[in-house]
């Protein structure tokens, strides 16, 4: 993976920490009626599905903005099989890592 | 507060341990993405929201800007606001306790608290604090362990960390794919992000899929 510069990483760490605290604290400050529009609630449950799926795709099939097919795809495919067999989260992650590492070292 | 009943304590601790353990995966992912041990640990101490933390290291590790990383983390963190809304009338806090409660307002603390509804409001409070603090302590401990381990390993690809990170995301999204509608959104988002990756700066293809979620949510019939 291509690392960003150290100062950018610091901005990412501090910025996301502030953002998350503000988002959390907001929940304890604002009256409930402001955020309970049914359509907004529905969109809010869908946002993680979209973002996490996008992350799966980008982290599996791209590198530095280019499409790349390599050992990662095999690892994620094994993770998908593990999930469909209802394996625990840890088994899913480890099986992907082992598959990818073995192919990388071949 | 009254005594903690056994069922609430057991549930809180088992959830804390099960979730906290995944801190290892995050610690390793942080190092693999080029973050230092200190930065990786601070993400767990301060950001303290699994999906958001993975998003920051995922987006920035792939070359995305800090702004893209923060925006993705924030979009994933909006649900914590809703949890706060749910917990505020139950906890009824002021001052520093309100700040502490906000910091440990996550999927698990809220989930366990709501799960205690039949046992009364005190059990809900106990479930929230026990789970929140338990996950906080263990998540941070295991993050450090994962970061130290990954640092010692060296090349992330040689140990499969490059596939462990997307697999971790897959494991997070999997339980949310309840029906055809959710699966369609997931596949559309995955496809859109991959298609856009060669065209626009890293991080943006991921953020733009939030728009797809908005379109899907807007049009969804219940």
Q: Residues B200-221: what's their mean pLDDT? A: 90
- Are the beta carbons of A99 and B55 separated by less than 8 Å? no
Structure tokens at B24: 């290892």
Instruction: Check CB contact of A39 with chain B, cutoff 8 Å.
Output: yes
> Can you tell me the distance from the alpha carbon of A82 to that of B124, in angstroms, rounded to the nearest whole number?
34
Summarised one tens digit per residue, pLDDT across range A22-80 is: 999 999 998 766 667 788 888 888 988 999 999 999 999 998 889 999 999 999 999 99
Instruction: Check CB contact of A77 with chain B, cutoff 8 Å.
Output: no
Structural domain boundaries, residue B209: 177-222
Residues B114 and B152 in one domain: yes
Residues B185 and B152 in one domain: no
Residue listed under structure tokens 């610690």 = B27
Query: In total, how many domains does chain B have?
Result: 2
Residue B162 has pLDDT above 50, yes or no: yes
Chain B partners of A101 at a C-beta cutoff of 8 Å?
157-160, 163
DSSP strands (E only) in chain A? 62-63, 66-67
> Can you tell me the distance from the alpha carbon of A62 to that of A58, in angstroms, rounded to the nearest whole number?
5
More confident residue, A84 or B2: A84
Summarised one tens digit per residue, pLDDT across range B59-86 is: 999 889 999 999 999 999 998 998 898 8
Q: Residues B120-141: what's their mean pLDDT? A: 96
ipTM value, please give it.
0.87
Residues B79 and B18 in one domain: yes
Per DSSP, the three-state class of A24 is helix
Q: Can you say how many angstroms the Cα of residue A81 is from the centroid of all Cα atoms in its chain?
A: 19
Summarised one tens digit per residue, pLDDT across range A78-102 is: 999 999 999 988 899 899 999 999 9
- Are the beta carbons of A51 and B39 separated by less than 8 Å? no
Instruction: Check CB contact of B197 with chain A, cutoff 8 Å.
Output: yes
Residues B109 and B210 in one domain: no
Residues B156 and B191 in one domain: no
The continuous run of DSSP H or E covering B113 comes out as: helix B107-115
- Are the beta carbons of B43 and A13 separated by less than 8 Å? yes
* Residue B172 maps to a domain: no
- Are the beta carbons of B194 and A3 separated by less than 8 Å? no
Is A12 in contact with B94 (CB distance < 8 Å)? no
Residue B165 has pLDDT above 90, yes or no: no
Q: What is the value of pTM for the model shown?
A: 0.84
DSSP strands (E only) in A6-57? none
Summarised one tens digit per residue, pLDDT across range B34-54 is: 999 999 999 999 999 999 999
> Can you tell me the distance from the alpha carbon of A33 to that of A48, in angstroms, rounded to the nearest whole number?
23
Q: Residues B172-176: what's their mean pLDDT? A: 90
Residues B189 and B144 in one domain: no
Label residue A6 exposed, middle or buried (CB < 10 Å: 0-12, 13-18, 19+).
exposed
Tell me what pLDDT residue A21 has. 97
Residues B123 and B196 in one domain: no
Tell me what pLDDT residue A2 has. 44
> Can you tell me the distance from the alpha carbon of B62 to that of A47, in angstroms, rounded to the nearest whole number?
21
> Can you tell me the distance from the alpha carbon of A48 to that of A52, in angstroms, rounded to the nearest whole number?
6
- Are the beta carbons of B62 and A80 separated by less than 8 Å? no
In the beta sheet, which residues pair with residue A63?
Answer: A66
Is A76 in contact with B167 (CB distance < 8 Å)? yes
* Residue B171 maps to a domain: no
Determine phi and psi for A63, rounding to 5 degrees.
Answer: -150, 125
* Residue B129 maps to a domain: yes
**Nearest partner of B143 among B39, B56, B13, B70, judged by Cα:** B39
């Amino acid at each position: 993976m291509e690392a960003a510069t150290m100062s950018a990483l610091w901005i990412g760490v501090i910025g996301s920490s502030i953002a998350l605290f503000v988002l959390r604290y907001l929940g304890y400050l604002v009256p409930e009626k402001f955020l309970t529009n049914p359509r907004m609630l529905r969109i809010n449950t869908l946002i993680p599905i979209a973002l996490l799926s996008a992350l799966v795709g980008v982290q599996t099939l791209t590198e530095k903005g280019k499409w790349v097919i390599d050992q990662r795809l095999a690892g994620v495919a094994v993770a998908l099989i593990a999930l469909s067999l209802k394996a625990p989260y840890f088994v899913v992650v480890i099986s992907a890592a082992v598959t990818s590492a073995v192919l990388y070292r071949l | 507060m009254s005594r903690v009943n056994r069922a609430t304590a057991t549930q809180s601790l088992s959830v804390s341990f099960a979730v906290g353990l995944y801190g290892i995966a995050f610690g390793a992912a942080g190092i693999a993405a080029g973050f230092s041990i200190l930065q990786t640990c601070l993400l767990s101490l301060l950001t303290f929201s699994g999906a958001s933390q993975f998003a920051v290291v995922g987006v920035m590790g792939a070359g995305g800007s800090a702004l893209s990383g923060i925006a993705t983390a924030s979009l994933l963190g909006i649900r914590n606001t809703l949890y706060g809304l749910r917990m505020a009338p139950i906890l009824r806090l002021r001052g520093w306790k309100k700040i502490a409660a906000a910091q440990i307002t996550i999927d698990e603390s809220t989930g366990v608290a709501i799960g205690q509804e039949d046992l009364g409001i005190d059990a809900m409070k106990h479930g929230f604090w026990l789970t929140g603090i338990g996950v906080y302590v263990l998540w941070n401990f295991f993050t450090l362990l994962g970061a130290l381990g990954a640092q010692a390993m060296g090349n992330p690809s040689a140990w499969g960390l490059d596939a462990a990170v997307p697999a971790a995301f897959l494991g997070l999204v999997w339980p949310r794919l309840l029906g055809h509608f959710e699966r369609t959104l997931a596949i559309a988002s995955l496809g859109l992000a991959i298609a856009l990756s060669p065209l626009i700066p890293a991080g943006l293809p991921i953020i733009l899929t939030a728009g797809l979620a908005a379109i899907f949510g807007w049009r969804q019939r219940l």
